[in-house]
Structure 1
């Protein structure tokens, strides 16, 4: 018995090696030694010879094995599954080339494989969508169409056990071309939800990378070509999905009862008293709102819609409620998840946001069950492009800017709200990150109604106070970063100034013994050496002054907006120029000393002298790019102070990067009146 098992293991080993070596003849010969031929189990995971030959992409071998399979072994094709429950056709669905030819041959042998599932409930059609195989997917979809399965069987073929459909899995696999094909073929599954209550459009709205051009370094040329195609498919897919989506209709209707609270005094001045008072006043507020709703319903001229209607696919029902601060009486939503409009706004899928608002412009007034509107979401997650796009809608902005969420937070409060989702890190130091936050606060403040600037939320916090509290850790990091940077750069600048000062009293070539004048006074490089040495000394000392002014600053929160970054940029610039001037002076001095040497010696010395400059420039180039934004703002201030449009014509041009840091002049900012 042991001998028989040993012989079988030996045959399996030889057979497995033959498949790996793509020795078709030997594989066919060894399969004859098994009773069940190619359907014999080969691996420890239950894969048969036909399974292994299929996922090893040996099309010729698979076809030969199918032809050599005896008639009385054909039924084993449907019963032979690996530990994952995959049949041979499941493995065929993962192939690229010649997959249709192999699938045709397999279905001729066992057509019932088309409706079989693995342990996850995945059909062969689902398997092909999961791996993004468009050719085999279209082939299997056509086969399923002509097979005329009943509705239950059809649903099981396009959806697995966890309710994930073929459209969901194609989007999750970033196969947007295939997903577009699925959305057009099976339009009835566009609104289907998975076990997380997510539709296909919601999944796409969480994937901003699908709409952004990607530059892949070192990848194959084919990948570079597929990137723009994939982005185009994603845009077309978004259009198809948005047309079928009406989730924005399920909104939290509100009555504008906004009453800004600029103080924390009154009958209940403490948080504990206020919260207890709120609990006592809940029935009174509900009764008040109910009466208001009745009056509004009687008034035919009222612009407030308080009806509770059931919308297609999304049920909207609830009771009216309000809060003490304000803002609104509303109907809480009872649908699961966040709508695609808000998901796209949160993740930065601007294309989906624009598509939804282009097809359904009234969707801009959508409010979810937590109270925020699209403007509040865009501000909280720092989505500048969405913010600007919505800001251009003058009529909706009159209402959106005064909208409060359930906690009484205004749009200005949203700037200070902490973000509890992952945000990719930027190439910015803590000080520049804090500056970015301060400028974003200033930008939002420019469109905030004056009555809401000092408004307090339910926690008795103004927008300024909330911002200062939530950014305190970042402020401390920014202060420490500026101190460390300024101290290190000051030391370097002082060393450069010391060397430059000493070099100023060292005459290249020495003085003339008779006249006392430098021997090389009339040489062109003597002037270069002297001038660059003086410039190096001047730049180094100026840099020291700038960094010392940072070290002695009070580090107020307001200082991080313009004052400190405006000092850091000139400090780095003068330090860089001092290094460059010192290297030029050094190079010119060496040339004066060895001016009679060969030409290659001069070239070598030039190259070596500028090596530190190149390393310094490369190391601090990302920081320079970040500081450039501050520099542009400084030029704008100079232009505004002296009205020198003629001297700074380029400053007035719009810049996508600089626009984010643009200081909003209240006299030039569009005010949204009620």
Structure 2
């Protein structure tokens, strides 16, 4: 640990066990310690001290079952040490610690890519596939996703069907029944076919795809679905498929990915979990840590969940929208039950916001009314202020039903805030115009200073409402995006499909005509070509 490598080598020569001497309470040998601390040169010197006849002793384990190769797998800096270890004791590659992990698995878990690639090339092909899993069927892909090392096993996906690792695949499709059939990863060495109706449960209930869905890792999920599309039917021990997971953990990107890859979802949308929940029920099932990390207003949070419910309802099977789960609740009833607290918070927040804004609007209207009868007048500010007051009053008199938070109430709030900001701006413009009439003969810098002072309150007001206003603008922009998609983008896509070679500045008819004339000019006129031109 102090970095005196020469002294360590000298002391090892004086000990009968040499570098295999146990030197810690965890039964680590000196070689264990050297590899653990990344002392590459020291570890190579210690390995040279061991004759090839004693290479079997390199398989010594500490109290956690880690061999020296397990310790070496923790660092990319000592790949030469791992190479020398495997030269002396090849059986180290297949040894597992008490957690069922091979050295290859450890390298994947800690994201040591150089070490992982080296170990992945060692051993026989058929034997090496067993190194990708722990004894509980957790794969290296599980470990890489959990620890955030997304490069492992995703860089090279060009393997052939015979070469690639299939330990993370589900071999049986989900069955469309009213009660879920659970499917787990099947490994030939540890699984066998059971009698009809029986199901085998493993500890690794979450496959790599479901784990990536839960964490929202789009790169991993897309890679898996591209290489093995059937993986979309993975189901965990609770009967959840990829849609259940994506909706429950609010991973909208995964839903978009499924749409993007055009994956058939007929079976997925019909899947019912062990508690009788459809994918529509999952909107009402929220995780405990979901709302805590979201600092947006309750009204916007509730609206987001209502829009998600509407989106999932569109892709759900119609007869399952009224399906009762094991608690005898439909998806809509479950949503209202689970979000009662959020609904109350949203109602109180919206009332409080509308009341505060209406007070400001009334004050501005009072000032604007008095200024309206003077030169230059302030009719615009008065009109916008009164309009904002009426908008906020419509919010306060609303019934605050669940469906109102989806579109109606957020849009009213945005309209009211917009009118209020315009009213304040118009009032400041009238104030500046009045001052200009009084100081029009003054210096230019005086007029600039007065303008700056006049619009300073407007700037403060706008900045204070900017975070809320940005969220409200998103509410109104989504319907506009849908209209743009239907009116402009979809017809444009159809035109591109019909005329794939259609240039930007050339009409399809002109393009086709030019191509026909060009082709006809290069060959003699025949009855067939003449008929084609006609």
Partner of 1:553: 398
Q: Please say if 1:163 is aligned against 2:105.
A: no
CA distance in 2, matches of 1:385, 1:500: 48
**2:134 maps to what in 1?**
193
Counterparts of 1:503 and 1:651 in 2: how far apart (Å)? 51
> Does the 8 Å CA contact 1:167/1:183 hold for their aligned counterparts?
yes
Q: Which residue of 1 aligns with 2:328?
A: 460
Q: Aligned residue for 2:70?
A: 126
Following TM superposition, by how much is the alpha carbon of 1:593 offset from its aligned partner in structure 2, in angstroms? Answer: 4.8
Structure-2 residue corresponding to 1:298: none
Relative to 1, partners in 2 of residues 1:362 and 1:536: Cα closer, same or farther, differing over 3 Å?
A: same
- The equivalent position to 2:294 in structure 1, one of 426, 440, 446, is 426
What is residue 333 of structure 1 aligned with on the other side? 200
* Residues 1:598 and 1:559: Cα distance change in structure 2 (over 3 Å): same
2:475 aligned to 624, 630, 635, which one?
630
Distance 1:306 1:371, change over 3 A: closer
Does 2:197 match 1:245?
Answer: no
CA distance in 2, matches of 1:601, 1:375: 64
2:223 aligns with 355
CA–CA distance in structure 2, aligned partners of residues 63 and 309 of structure 1: 47
Aligned twin of 1:448: 316
Correspondence for 2:188 among 286, 308, 312: 312
- Per-residue displacement from partner, 1:387-418 (whole Å, max 9, x unpaired)? 34435677842333323223333232222233
Deviations 1:133-154 (A, max 9, x none): 3122x122111122134x3x54
Deviation at 1:495, TM superposition (A): 3.0
CA distance in 1, matches of 2:483, 2:396: 25
Q: Equivalent residue of 1:401, what SS?
A: helix
1:204 and 1:603, CA in 2 relative to 1: closer, same or farther beyond 3 A?
A: farther
Kept in 1, the 8 Å contact 2:241–2:271? The answer is yes
Aligned pairs for 1:64-463 (under 5 A) are 72=14, 79=21, 81=23, 93=35, 99-105=39-45, 107=47, 119-130=63-74, 133-136=75-78, 138-149=79-90, 151=91, 153-156=92-95, 159-175=96-112, 179=116, 182-185=119-122, 187-188=128-129, 190-193=131-134, 198-206=138-146, 235-236=154-155, 243-249=164-170, 251=172, 254=175, 256-258=176-178, 311-313=187-189, 315=191, 317-318=193-194, 320=196, 331-337=198-204, 338-391=206-259, 396-419=264-287, 425-463=293-331
1:410-559 counterparts in 2 under 5 A? 410-419=278-287, 425-504=293-372, 533-559=378-404
Aligned residues: 481
Q: Compared with structure 1, are the counterparts of its residues 536 and 70 closer, same or farther at alpha carbon in structure 2 (3 Å cutoff)?
A: same
The structure-2 alpha-carbon separation of the partners of 1:246 and 1:189, relative to structure 1 and needing over 3 Å to count, comes to closer
Q: Is residue 27–residue 63 contact of structure 2 (8 Å, CA) maintained in 1? A: yes
Q: Give the aligned partner of residue 422 of structure 2.
A: 577
2:409 is aligned with 1:564: yes
Relative contact order (C-alpha < 8 Å, sep 6+): which is higher? 1
* 1:544 Cα offset (Å): 2.4
Deviation at 1:199, TM superposition (A): 2.0
Change (3 A) 1:169 1:483: farther
Q: Mind listing any 5+ residue stretches in structure 2 that lack a counterpart? A: 494-534
- Given that 2:109 and 2:140 are in contact with CA atoms closer than 8 Å, whether structure 1 keeps it comes out as no
1:6-42 C-alpha deviation (Å, 9 max, x unpaired): xxxxxxxxxxxxxxxxxxxxxxxxxxxxxxxxxxxxx
The offset of 1:310, in angstroms, is: 6.8
CA distance in 1 between partners of 2:408 and 2:415 (Å): 12
* 1:91-117 superposed Cα distances (whole Å, 9 cap, x missing partner): 654668xx5445445555679997665
Name the structure 2 match of 1:265: none
Whole-Å separation in 1 of the counterparts to 2:143 and 2:388: 51
User: How far does the alpha carbon of each residue in 1:164-195 deviate from its partner, in whole angstroms, 9 at most, with x for none?
Assistant: 4444444544555654555455744543216x
- Counterpart-to-counterpart distance in 2, 1:109 and 1:309: 45
Deviation, 1:163, is 3.0
Structure-1 separation of matches of 2:457 and 2:26:
60
**Cα deviations by residue, 1:220-266 (Å, 9 ceiling, x for unpaired):** xxxxxxxxxxxx66741788899413443355764x4559xxxxxxx
Q: In structure 2, how many angstroms separate the alpha carbons of the residues matched to 1:110 and 1:539?
A: 89
Equivalent-residue separation in structure 1 for 2:119 and 2:451 (angstroms): 63
Deviation at 1:65, TM superposition (A): 5.1
CA-CA distance at 1:588 after TM superposition: 5.1
User: Could you list the per-position Cα deviations for residues 285-319 of structure 1 after superposition, in whole angstroms to 9, with x for gaps in the alignment?
Assistant: xxxxxxxxxxxxxxxxxxxx999997525626555
> CA–CA distance in 1 between the matches of 2:291 and 2:19?
49
TM-aligned CA deviation for residue 557 of structure 1: 0.8
SS at structure 1 position matched to 2:270: coil
Distance 2:318 2:233 in 1: 22
Summarize the alignment of residues 604-623 of structure 1 with structure 2, pairs less than 5 Å apart: 606-607=451-452, 609-623=454-468
**CA separation in 2, counterparts of 1:428 and 1:491?**
24
Provide the TM-score with structure 1 as the length reference.
0.60
**Range moving further from structure 2, 440-449 or 120-129:** 120-129
5+ residue gaps, structure 1: 1-50, 55-61, 212-231, 260-304, 322-330, 508-526, 655-674
> Secondary structure of 1:446's match?
helix
| Per-residue deviation, residues 574-618 of structure 1 (Å, max 9, x unmatched) | 233334444455555555555566655555555555554444444
CA distance in 1, matches of 2:430, 2:31: 75
State whether residues 90 and 127 of structure 1, in contact with CA within 8 Å, keep that contact through their aligned partners in structure 2.
yes
Alpha-carbon separation, structure 1, partners of 2:278 and 2:58: 56
The 1:185–1:559 alpha-carbon spacing in structure 2 relative to 1, beyond 3 Å, is: farther
Q: CA deviation at 1:566?
A: 1.0
Question: Secondary structure, in 3 states, of the residue corresponding to 2:23?
Answer: coil
Q: 1:587 to 1:86 in 2, by over 3 A?
A: farther
CA contact (8 A) 1:356 1:363 kept: yes
- Paired with 2:70 and 2:283, the residues of 1 have a C-alpha distance of 43
